[in-house]
Copies of this chain bind each other. A is one copy, B any other.
């Protein structure tokens, strides 16, 4: 490790964001990404007992460098359960709790919260992006960060640490409604941050999601919505419900997202009188994993 302009610069290593369905490997040299590779070899595609070989293969492909893994690979469904550190947690707490199943390869723990208020929550993989976004100056040290998705993560950062967080089942409920519910057939259209989406965000102000969802069926039966608009409306309802539970008017949300999800959450956040700032989630991951590595190498 050497110091460069006051920033610690690690030796070369392989960082892997290894999720349920995909993984992305980065060769990081001197704090910069030298190469990156993405494939669909998520943990679900690894056969029973297959992790040692999969890890060795990945490592060999990238010059046998030391390797630091994050994400679901560290869950009890992955290679090795890396446990959780309890929020509030910063990069130091994460770095102090790496698990190393084999020489030269370490796994980042997840983060849990188990407050006295009886609410439990867990994350695994997102903590690297969240802490990295702040460490790289892409978001302030005190900020509200959001990673939209199947399970949207909302993180309250304080003094650069992950102080508290909430996971909302927003994306999963949308997918489930589309695939399996009474209103699924009406949700065939594309979703974008259009007029129907905004109507859904507006309707979410009633705080009555269970009734609003049936209202989609009623609107269809009564011919009150143009065919094709229901998917965007339901997306607006769900994202609006999610955002209103966590964002106050006037607040700024740093959004670790791109593409459609960035557009949708930005629109929902704007519609409730707050502001979204989109942050590069890949750069955040690289910044986070590099700093964790710096603390341990």
Contacts and interface: CB of A to CB of B under 8 A. Distances in A.
Contacts of A222: 84, 112, 114, 120, 122
Question: Across chains A and B, which 7 residue pairs bring their CB atoms closest together, nearest first?
Answer: A168-B210, A120-B218, A167-B214, A120-B219, A208-B245, A169-B213, A122-B218
Nearest to A213: B169
A214 B168 contact: yes
Nearest to A241: B210
Q: Give the interface residue-count category, chain A.
A: 35 or more
| Chain B CB within 10 A, most for which of A120, A151, A207 | A120
B224 A238 contact: no
Contacts of A151: 182, 214
Query: How many copies are assembled?
Result: 2
Contacts of A173: 210, 213
Contact of A224 (B114, B182, B218): B114
B119 A207 contact: no
Interface in A64-120: 84, 112, 114, 118-120
A171 to B, nearest CB: 10
A172 interface: yes
Contacts of A152: 210
A211 interface: yes
B211 A166 contact: yes
Contact of A167 (B168, B170, B180, B211): B211
17 contacts: A112-B218, A118-B203, A120-B221, A120-B224, A122-B217, A122-B222, A168-B208, A169-B181, A169-B214, A172-B182, A173-B210, A173-B213, A176-B176, A176-B177, A207-B207, A210-B238, A210-B242
A83 to B, nearest CB: 11
Interface string A212-236: 0111011101101000000000000
Interface of A: 84, 112, 114, 118-122, 151-152, 166-170, 172-173, 176-177, 179-182, 203, 207-211, 213-215, 217-219, 221-222, 224, 238, 241-242, 245
| Chain B CB within 10 A, most for which of A84, A217, A221, A224 | A221
A177 B214 CA distance: 16
A214 B181 contact: no
Contacts of A203: 118
Contacts of A172: 181-182
B176 A215 contact: no
A214 B112 CA distance: 13
| Chain B CB within 10 A, most for which of A152, A169, A179, A210 | A210
A172 B183 CA distance: 11
Given A172-B182, A218-B167, A210 B245 contact: yes
Contacts of A166: 208, 211
Contacts of A181: 169, 172, 176
A62 B179 CA distance: 42
